Amino acid sequence: MGERIVEQAAINQLVYDNNNVCVLEPHIDGEDLNTLKLSLWIPKKKIFDGICEAAFTPKCIDIFKVVWENLRGDWSPEGDREYPDEHMKHRMIKVAQVAAQMMESCGLHGFVYTSQVWSEALGSGILGNSIVIGAINPYKVAKTKFYYDKYGWELEKCADADFKGVGMMDFIPTLKGYAKDLHDRYNYLESLADSWGEDMSTIARYVVETMTKALSGRKVEIDKGCFDWKNLFESGDEDFSDPFDFHFTGILRDLFFRYTEIDYEYLSTCNEDDSELHPYCLAGYDVPKELVDMAFSPTYAKLFLKRLYNPLIVGPDDI
């Protein structure tokens, strides 16, 4: 097919949105419309090479964090070294649930959860309540896949590469005939990738502003930040907070439950020696007897995300 963007759109519908699509490719002799014929476009297997790995590369997942003030006694414990009560936990969980619903309506494939800094770790000026929202950035995935197909680089290198070597004309070749100097002044593909996350940031802030309203008319202090996988999950910043229920959306939700279903089918039938080689056991986790007890666990959710990017986890060092 001539237009890469049409191929990409069709593949996205098949893979990410789980929709059955039929693409017809036009053929015409010269400019004679009477010779127009349509043939079924069947994607070559090569097109799918690396597409999943590219989508689940941590560098292609945009993450935003919105924090708000502690609101002690209502949203967080009144005193130090106290734990949030069940009502406080339910409030935090509801914030994530509403955000997950909004992400689904926007077609975002990602995750969302809320967390709360330990009461004893709260210092002066620290906003202890937070919502973390992340999703696959399709423009970063397209860039990563483009470099992977063109140069055969390792996916990590493709994800790290900037947008200087790729632009809209690589996906819409006909632009070359109309705007040859399109990217001489501005890389629109890079701009789309940078601005794409605004939906997530808007959702997170809107949910917090809305869900913290009260009859007292109080003004709640809110702040936000942009993160990547490494500085959020591997920097140790979350070591002094308790995360609440983890919610996946879109294809990540479908994959999480399918993965977990297969895990339970395997662990319920294998012998003890084989079960010890399972990623959960290698990580030192006790697998809950009931799948429902794992369904929203932040611990297992984060390990699942690592497994998506590295399906060949074979030892503790990989985890």
Give the model confidence (pLDDT) of 14-46 as tens digits: 766 667 778 888 888 888 888 888 888 887 777
Give residue limits of the domains in the chain: 1-48, 55-137+197-318, 138-187
Strands 222-227 and 61-68: antiparallel
Tracing tokens 């985890």 back to the chain, one arrives at: 319
Q: How many CA atoms lie within 13 A of 237 on its CB side?
A: 15
Q: What is the pLDDT of residue 33?
A: 82
d(CA 117, CA 126): 9
State whether residue 261 is helix, strand or coil.
Answer: helix
Q: What is the pLDDT of residue 99?
A: 96
What distances in angstroms separate CA 87 from CA 16, 76, 91, 229, 302, one per listed residue? 36, 10, 6, 30, 25
Q: What is the pLDDT of residue 316?
A: 46
Q: What is the pLDDT of residue 315?
A: 47
d(CA 76, CA 73): 6
Report, as ranges of residue numbers, the positions in the chain whose pLDDT lies below 50: 314-316, 319
Q: What is the pLDDT of residue 306?
A: 82
Contacts of 97 (CB under 8 A, 6+ apart): 245, 247
d(CA 302, CA 58): 12
d(CA 291, CA 178): 55
Q: What is the pLDDT of residue 287?
A: 85
Q: What is the pLDDT of residue 312?
A: 59
d(CA 298, CA 120): 22
Closest CA to 284 of 298, 303, 309, 264: 303
Cβ(41)–Cβ(10) below 8 Å? yes
Question: In the chain, which ranges are continuous DSSP H helix?
Answer: 4-15, 51-55, 86-105, 138-151, 155-160, 182-185, 188-195, 198-211, 229-233, 250-267, 272-275, 279-282, 298-309
